[in-house]
Amino acid sequence: MKNHLNEPVTIAVVGSGYVGLVASACFAEIGHSVICVDNDEAKVRTLQTGGIPIHEDYLPELLNQHRGGRLEFTTDLRTAAQTAQAIFIAVGTPQSRTGSADLSFVDAVASEIARSIDSYKVIVEKSTVPVYTNEWIRRVIERNGVPKDLFDVASNPEFLREGTAVVDFLHPDRIVVGAATDRASALLKRIYEPLTSGEYYRGDNRIPGPRGENELPPLLLTSTKAAEIIKHASNAFLATKISFINVVANICEAAGADVEEVAKGIGLDSRIGNKFLRAGVGYGGSCFPKDVAAFRNVAELVGVDFGLLHEVEKINEEQILRFFQKVRSALWTFRGKKIGVLGLAFKGGTDDIRESPAIEIVQKLLSEGCIVSAYDPAAEARTKETIPPGAKMRYVDSPYAAAQDADALLILNDWSEFAELDLAKLHYTLRYPIVIDGRNLYDPATMTEHGFTYLSVGRPGLSQPVDPITVFHEPRKRGRA
């Protein structure tokens, strides 16, 4: 049998952020030779010397295994582009003031690649970019004098979730390849063949995940434009699902139903599916907010009214305000109140605080004069860059330390350890036994049995303000200062 691992492709990945770094490590893991390029010298040095800049499951293992072997890090884009057969562009596409994606990094990298190449290359967009970007990259490269037959531009969007990005890469639902020529699609197929042929899953040391020899991931070949739209439409659809369930949660709350039961009932319809139907404080992160805005902008540019996405964004913004209102209704006044906070990252399992609803809520609490004790297993360091520690903001190292003598405990993201608290201990630790859960991690009946005033999202009776007499006149526990 042909062993594709013996026919590695030499790949350059430009950008060592979440996408670029994970893609680099995973391409090396499936047998290719990878040069990961970044213009941030300090970051490259960190990566060369064994540092790991992001919190991502299995990434340390892959970097340790392949660094210095099939995987190298450099700031030298020119040499990397000349050496590689395929050059993946995985640089940032931040949101501009108008909501559109800022493609200046992609433009700069494309120009530099154009100035470097002297043999045929497939240049692959991996960053999330609006439709027509492929076309623009092609034009930039041609303008720099590169003959048409010396390159192809393809689109290979990623669907990686932070925290589980390595498993998502190696065990994908699908691989989307948008290419205009057979030459380009053949190289991309070869790159992913260890996954699509099952060869990787037969190996002894593979990273475990849902795919296997009998569950091979499909590779979908499309036009470059379709691939670009698939990426934006996927994220916009998932964000829509979350906003949809959040509104349903608000209806449940008013009507006295439990959104968890409703979500289960909806999700069992196989046409809908049960994923991304968890109500909460709204979506955040580096992708959904940016991509919804960018896709809305694409629609505008091509003259299509996509008002639905405006609503999705509006609902998401209001969801944080509703939650904050819930906290206010439980505490009455804010100034001088001590609040325990569990979760700072935009979701559990990551250290990323970009567009994190938790950070927005903490900042609001601080501006209202609260004293916050926050715990997050991974996001403390990044949060300190935004909210320095001080008299009003303390960082602690356990959920119970966050709850210590607090007037209320807020759960703002879904790290699994937050769902496994010792409730008796938590009750004892809090000054007042109030838990306001923005992620529905607990069963309301269990919390009531344990003596908590428990507010969550979209569960019965929660639209009523908390009865101040029951909550604030509850006797302090014996033995407490």
Q: Is 434 helix (H, G, I), strand (E, B) or coil?
A: strand
Q: Does 266 bind ligand UDX (CB under 6 A)?
A: no
| Catalytic status, residue 252 | no
Q: Which residue has the tokens 């800049």?
A: 53
For residue 424, what are the contacts with CB-CB under 8 A and spacing of at least 6? 450
User: Per the residue annotation, which of 36, 252, 287, 370 is the catalytic one?
Assistant: 287
Q: How far are the Cα atoms of 195, 238, 240, 251, 319 from residue 245, in angstroms, in the given order?
A: 34, 11, 9, 10, 11
**Phi (first) and psi of residue 20, to 5 degrees:** -65, -40
Q: Does 190 bind ligand UDX (CB under 6 A)?
A: no
- Minimum distance, C-beta of residue 90 to ligand UDX, in the bound complex (Å): 12
Question: Hey, what are 122's tokens?
Answer: 């497939």
What counts of helices (H) and strands (E) characterise the chain?
19, 14
Spatial separation of the C-alpha atoms in residues 110 and 103, rounded to whole Å: 11
β-bridge pairing 71-74 and 33-37: parallel
- Minimum distance, C-beta of residue 80 to ligand UDX, in the bound complex (Å): 24
Kindly write down the DSSP assignment for every residue of 210-234, as one continuous string: S-BTTBPPPEEEE-HHHHHHHHHHH
Q: Which of 67, 121, 290, 347 binds ligand UDX (CB under 6 A)?
A: 347
Spatial separation of the C-alpha atoms in residues 320 and 304, rounded to whole Å: 29
User: Which residue, 161 or 427, is less far from ligand UDX as judged by CB?
Assistant: 161
User: Which residue, 4 or 241, is less far from ligand UDX as judged by CB?
Assistant: 241
User: Which residue, 179 or 238, is less far from ligand UDX as judged by CB?
Assistant: 238
Q: Does 360 bind ligand UDX (CB under 6 A)?
A: no
**Helix or strand run (H / E) with residue 80:** helix 77-83
- Minimum distance, C-beta of residue 266 to ligand UDX, in the bound complex (Å): 12
Q: Does 406 bind ligand UDX (CB under 6 A)?
A: no
Q: Which of 276, 368, 427, 460 binds ligand UDX (CB under 6 A)?
A: 276
Site string for ligand UDX, 234-263 (x = CB under 6 A): -x--x---x---------------------
Total residues binding ligand UDX (CB under 6 A): 19
Q: Which of 288, 334, 418, 432 binds ligand UDX (CB under 6 A)?
A: 288
Q: Which of 8, 99, 285, 458 binds ligand UDX (CB under 6 A)?
A: 285
- Minimum distance, C-beta of residue 355 to ligand UDX, in the bound complex (Å): 8
User: Which residue, 33 or 234, is less far from ligand UDX as judged by CB?
Assistant: 234
- Minimum distance, C-beta of residue 402 to ligand UDX, in the bound complex (Å): 19
Q: Does 284 bind ligand UDX (CB under 6 A)?
A: yes
Q: Does 27 bind ligand UDX (CB under 6 A)?
A: no
Q: Which residue has the tokens 């002297």?
A: 118
Kindly write down the DSSP assignment for every residue of 449-463, as one continuous string: HTT-EEE-SS-TTTT
- Minimum distance, C-beta of residue 359 to ligand UDX, in the bound complex (Å): 11
For residues 95 and 290, the answer to whether their CB atoms sit within 8 Å is yes
**Piece in contact with ligand UDX (CB under 6 A), picked from 131-139, 216-224, 281-289, 449-457:** 281-289
Kindly write down the DSSP assignment for every residue of 151-195, as one continuous string: EEEEE----PPTTSHHHHHHS-S-EEEE-SSHHHHHHHHHHHHHH
User: Which residue, 203 or 267, is less far from ligand UDX as judged by CB?
Assistant: 267
Question: Hey, what are 202's tokens?
Answer: 């037969």
For residues 72 and 34, the answer to whether their CB atoms sit within 8 Å is yes
- Minimum distance, C-beta of residue 456 to ligand UDX, in the bound complex (Å): 13
Catalytic residues: 287
Q: Which residues bind ligand UDX (CB under 6 A)?
A: 158-162, 235, 238, 242, 276-278, 280, 283-285, 287-288, 346-347
